[in-house]
Amino acid sequence: MSFSTPPTTNQFTERLTLHYDPALKRNRFNQVANAIAAFFAAMAVVPLFLVLIYVLVQGGRLLSLRLLTELPPAPGLEGGGIGNAILGTIVVTLIASLIAIPVGVGGGVYLSEYAQDGWFSKFVRFGNDVLAGVPSIICGVFIYSLIVATRIFFDQSFSAMAGGIALSVLMLPTVIKTTYEGLLLVPQEMRMGAYGVGASRFVTITQITLPAAFTPIATGVVLGIARAAGETAPLIFTALFSPFWPEGLFNPIATMSVLIFNFAIMPYEAQNELAWAASFVLVIMILGANLLARWISSASRS
Amino acid sequence: MTASSPSTVASDVCMSLQDVTISYGSFEAVKNVYMDLPKGKVTAFIGPSGCGKSTVLRALNRMNDLIPGCSLKGRVIFDQHDLYDKRVDPVEVRRRIGMVFQKPNPFPKSIYENIAFGARINGYKGDMDELVERSLRKAAVWDECKDKLKESGFSLSGGQQQRLCIARAIATEPEVILMDEPCSALDPISTLKIEETMHELKRSYTIMIVTHNMQQAVRVADMTAFFNAEAVEGGSGKVGYLVEFNETENIFNSPSQQSTLDYVSGRFG
């Protein structure tokens, strides 16, 4: 083949116009592929909006000050609110946070700052990932047999404390993982600088490294709390339920998720409506927590 | 080997390295270094990349402890003590031998707190405002900082950040300041300012600096150590060693080793 032959005219050598031609095969194909991808992307958020709208329609009309401050009515009666369940969810989540945050942050600090990359830290990290995947109902059964069935706290069986501990087991993996990963993002130079002015390891961690990783840790903690606040399964047989105001940390306590579970299947109109209203309040609280997490991570970046 | 034996160290010597070999795992990074670093002078470490000069510098305040697998054989004598004696506390060593790093690394705190941090953890009880001002003045960055002491250290330019880091090192009143390529991330004007700062600082401190810039060694250093690396038989990678250690003038004008002459005249590396 010689290079001197003039190019023959075929589709390959033909010079097309540079203008965009939507009728071209590749362009048509591209548009179809684009549309399909966009459709699936939209499908991913459709459930969220459907849930929000449905819960808002069903539960939003009951929203009033009464709903947030009153006790649920006795079966067969009208009116009432979910004040005890809101308070109970706050109490139980607070107990869970008080356990999971110190343990989780401490564990994350150990994994990132103290542990050599040996078998122990690998084992802890792997175990943590497995714990994150343990179904929440298993956590509930575990705490039930450990605390509730043994009546370990003042001979009380079901209690707010047991519910909080069950939720803390669920929160723990999130807190450990975000702490660990947040600390890994802190540049090594920052630690070197602190050591270079004579800081001990403890001072370096508490005053330089942890504050530098505050944003990812706080974001992870808030997301962990949001996850725990919505859990039902571990609370059903640990915190149980109570139609009254909380009577202390070692007594059964009402929570929103269990209230929804109980009231939604009751044969009373008033209870069903309260379940919808509680769903709405819970969704809003969790949405708020997620927005707070986003705000924390964006506020410190700017 | 005990810490009480180094009576051979002369009084004008700040630190003395005696047969120092530093390894990363089983790989020897730099081998058999003997060196007496003089007090009150600026000593520059020069040499091609990978010759171990930064490793030696970090060994002087036990910064290598933070690198997993790094170990040192031989002795580093400072103030009558072998720094690698088991009884020596590395935190105390770093309080007396400060360090400035290659990349400016201010803490994520205000400028004021960046300076105050080191002094506070070292138990400084005096007037903190005065110490902050004095340290920033010594590092020649006071004028740029005085109106924004409450702002983040990151709000400064790269050169200013590096001088902030120098001020931070000075604030703990060390005896020695180690500088690991302090100007490599900076533009020529910031570099010049840092060099001027170093000329001021050597009145009160002993300074050791690693640099890739030979003109910088000529400008700032009284003494220069030239390190080189060579492949060893049976080993993986190159092993660094000290070729020549002398007054800067001699190193650059009449070196005794051919490889030094090749390096400083740019025929090598």
pLDDT tens digits, B83-138: 888 888 888 888 888 888 888 888 888 888 888 888 888 888 888 888 888 888 88
Q: Tell me what the mean pLDDT of segment A238-245 comes to.
A: 76
pLDDT, average across residues A167-176: 89
pLDDT of res. B82: 86
B164 at interface of A, judged by CB pairs closer than 8 A: no
Report the C-alpha gap between B165 and B104 in whole angstroms.
Answer: 7
pLDDT over 80 (residue B140):
no
CA distance B169 to B135: 9
The pLDDT confidence band at residue A210, using thresholds 50, 70 and 90, is: confident
pLDDT at residue number B4 = 45
The stretch A98-125 carries a mean pLDDT of: 86
pLDDT (0 to 100) of residue B2: 42
β-strand partners of B210: B45, B180
Which residues have CB under 8 Å from B21's CB, separation 6+?
B28, B30, B31, B32, B33, B72, B73, B74
CB contacts, 8 Å: B58 with chain A: none
pLDDT mean over A32-37: 95
ipTM metric: 0.78
Residue A97 clears pLDDT 80, i.e. is over it:
yes
Nearest CA-CA partner of B100 in B57, B45, B65: B57
The region of weakest confidence among A22-31, A199-208, A257-266, B1-10 is B1-10
Q: Which of B58, B88, B105 to mutate to test the interface with A (most CBs of A within 10 A)?
A: B105
CB contact under 8 A, A197 and B92: no
The pLDDT, as a whole number, for residue A29 is 92
CA atoms within 13 A on the CB side of A74: 0
Which of helix, strand or coil describes residue B238? strand
CA distance A145 to A165: 13
Lowest mean pLDDT among A180-184, A197-201, A244-248, B166-170: A244-248
Q: What is the pLDDT of residue A35?
A: 95
Q: Which of B94, B117, B172 sits opposite A207 (nearest CB)?
A: B117
Q: Is the per-residue pLDDT at A161 higher than 90?
A: no
Cα Dmax for chain B:
59
Indicate which of A113, A186, A197 best probes the interface with B, i.e. most B CBs within 10 Å of its own CB: A197
Which has the minimum average pLDDT: A166-180, B118-132, B211-225, B255-269? B255-269
Q: Is the pLDDT of residue A34 over 90?
A: yes
Confidence of residue B1 (pLDDT cuts 50, 70, 90): very low
- Given a contact cutoff of 8 angstroms between Cβ atoms, the answer to whether B42 and B220 are in contact is yes
pLDDT confidence band for A302 (50 / 70 / 90): low
- CA nearest to A212 within chain B: B108
d(CA B269, CA B264): 10
Question: In chain B, what residues touch A206 (CB-CB under 8 Å)?
Answer: none
Chain B residues with beta carbon closer than 8 angstroms to that of A195: 63, 66, 91, 94
Least Cα separation, residue B105 to chain A (angstroms): 6
Residue A37: is its pLDDT beyond 90? yes
**How large is the average pLDDT for residues A59-71?**
74
The answer on pLDDT for B3 being more than 50 is no
- Answer yes or no: are the C-beta atoms of A232 and A260 closer than 8 Å: yes
Q: Which of A29-38, A91-100, B253-262 has the highest mean pLDDT?
A: A29-38
- A115-119, A199-203, A258-262: range with lowest mean pLDDT: A115-119
Nearest CA to B176 among B72, B53, B67, B63?
B63
State what percent of residues in chain A have pLDDT above 70.
93
Average pLDDT, chain A: 82
Alpha-carbon distance of A295 to A196, in angstroms, equals 34
Give whole-number Cα distances, A63 to A196, A274, A284, A289, B158, in Å.
58, 10, 12, 20, 55
Mean pLDDT of A15-19: 77
Contact residues on chain A for B172, CB-CB shorter than 8 A: 197-198
Mutate to test the interface with A, among B97, B121, B175, B179 (most CBs of A within 10 A): B121
Least confident of A30-44, A53-67, B37-51, B248-262: A53-67
What is the band of A3 on the pLDDT scale with cuts at 50, 70, 90?
low
